Structure 1
Amino acid sequence: MFAIFLTPAYAPFAIAFVIMVGIGLIEAIGLGLGHLDLDADVYAETDSGVLDWLGLGHELPILIWLTSLLGCFTLTGIAIQQGATALTGGPLHWGLASGGALAAGSLLNTLAANGLARIMPGFETSVISTDDFLRRRGTILEGTARRGSPARAKIVDQHGQAHFIMVEPHDDADVIATGETALIVRRDGKLFYALPDANALLQSI
């Protein structure tokens, strides 16, 4: 039975199956190593209706979508060749069968991808921009922050992740000592400027 997959008529589907298994192994290894970020999300200036038709309109990871497509292509291709063999006594030319399998497999994959998108958890990201540090409070960890002499500070973002930045006082006369907190008000490159919480203007904030 498996010998037919080594024939030219079934070769495209055998190759698709091998690629599908390879992607699955990569995903499994990635999860075993601590969830490597191997799934890319699709952001394209394409009409949303086209993306929905393809099954990509619900932020489904591209590797999951591709694995589903390869599986649908393989199944429909084998079904076409088996059907042709039953009707005519032999399989179709691999090119003709591949074209039919791609069309039918794409339609089937639309249903499969939309189904997967419903059961998979929505994509979430904790990646933030450094500009998001503005209007947040940081704690000086080491040294004393003076104008012209920055100190290392820690900021905790809305996701609970800690970030470490270099901070100087916004005002020339201010000094922010170790352990004190300050409100980050502006950024210049990698350097941030802050108003110490001791500042009277911040007492009501």
Structure 2
Amino acid sequence: MFAIFLTPAYAPFAISFIVMTGIGLIEAIGLGLGHLDLDADVSADAASGGVLDWLGFGHELPILIWLTSLLGCFTLAGIAIQQGAAAMTGGPLPWGLASGGALIAGAVLNTLAANGLARVMPGFETSVISTDDFLRRRGTILEGTARRGSPARAKIIDQHGQAHFIMVEPHDDTDAIATGETALIVRRDGKLFYALPEANALLQSI
């Protein structure tokens, strides 16, 4: 049975299933990619009645949740199309034709799925945060030593309990923040964040 998924006619749907599974594994091990800051929120008011609302973005699901749902719907629709074609004609459709039909059917199914997910998991609506929300939070240096001109990778836990990984330099030129130390994020410049180490006198009363 599973051998048919290795044939060219089913290849797009097998690849879609693998990608969908990979995204799920990434989320499961806590890399937090589902909460990437897109620097632009899609509001329900702006999308209402438009293409984005029809696609299921009107309820502001995190982008990777929406993408996982779309890949799942595409995979299921494609398998159903190929199985139906095999039952009626004795063989599956060419992969290009089947993929086109599955994309249309999958998009329609995903609209229903995304709307359903938004209703049963409303907490997702508030879990998409901006990188500015990292300010005034403490992060832990994971590897290396953060110095001015030599940033280090740090981990921050947001208000939803999700982990985020950022590059950090000390706010002051003379400071250094070693692996395992925590620091308060005080400002950012693009994708680079600046922090005060816990040992800084300014933080002793916080």
The bucket for the TM-score relative to the shorter chain is 0.5 to 0.7
Partner Cα distance (1:24, 1:129) in 2: 25
Q: Deviations over 1:109-163 (max 9, x none)?
A: 0000010011111315485598xxxxxxxxxxxxxxxxxxxxxxxxxxxx8xxxx
* 1:38 aligns with one of 34, 37, 54: 34
Q: Between the two proteins, what is the percent identity of the paired residues?
A: 71
Task: Please give the residue correspondences for 1:133-148 in structure 2 after superposition, counting only pairs within 5 Å.
Answer: none
Deviation, 1:96, is: 0.2
Tell me what 2:126 maps to.
Answer: 123
Partner Cα distance (1:117, 1:60) in 2: 7
Task: Please give the residue correspondences for 1:43-192 in structure 2 after superposition, counting only pairs within 5 Å.
Answer: 43=41, 47-48=47-48, 49-120=50-121, 121=123, 122-124=125-127, 125=129, 127-128=132-133
Partner Cα distance (1:102, 1:96) in 2: 10
The residue identity in structure 2 corresponding to 1:58 is: H
Q: Deviations over 1:180-204 (max 9, x none)?
A: xxxxxxxxxx9xxxxxxxxxxxxxx
How many residue pairs were aligned?
A: 131
Tell me what 1:178 maps to.
Answer: none
Q: Deviations over 1:50-70 (max 9, x none)?
A: 111000111100000000000
Please state whether the residue corresponding to 1:57 is helix, strand or coil. Answer: helix
CA separation of 1:44 and 1:86: change in aligned 2, threshold 3 A: same
Structure 1-normalised TM-score? 0.57
Q: CA-atom RMSD, angstroms?
A: 2.9
Question: What residue ranges of structure 2 are gaps of 5+ in the alignment?
Answer: 136-158, 160-170, 172-193, 195-206
CA separation of 1:6 and 1:123: change in aligned 2, threshold 3 A: same
The residue identity in structure 2 corresponding to 1:43 is: D
Q: Which has the higher contact order (CA 8 A, sep 6+)?
A: 2
Partner Cα distance (1:58, 1:39) in 2: 15
Q: Deviations over 1:21-66 (max 9, x none)?
A: 0000000011xx6xx3532466359754211100011110000000
Partner Cα distance (1:29, 1:56) in 2: 25
More off after superposition, 43-52 vs 5-14? 43-52
Q: Whose radius of gyration is greater, 1 or 2? A: 1
Structure 2-normalised TM-score? 0.56
Tell me what 2:18 maps to.
Answer: 18
Greater percentage in helix? 2
Question: What residue ranges of structure 1 are gaps of 5+ in the alignment?
Answer: 131-158, 160-164, 166-189, 191-205
Please state whether the residue corresponding to 2:29 is helix, strand or coil. Answer: helix
Please state whether the residue corresponding to 1:70 is helix, strand or coil. Answer: helix
Tell me what 2:151 maps to.
Answer: none
Please state whether the residue corresponding to 2:91 is helix, strand or coil. Answer: coil
Q: Deviations over 1:75-131 (max 9, x none)?
A: 00000000000000000000000000000000000000010011111315485598x
Partner Cα distance (1:62, 1:8) in 2: 29
CA separation of 1:2 and 1:59: change in aligned 2, threshold 3 A: same
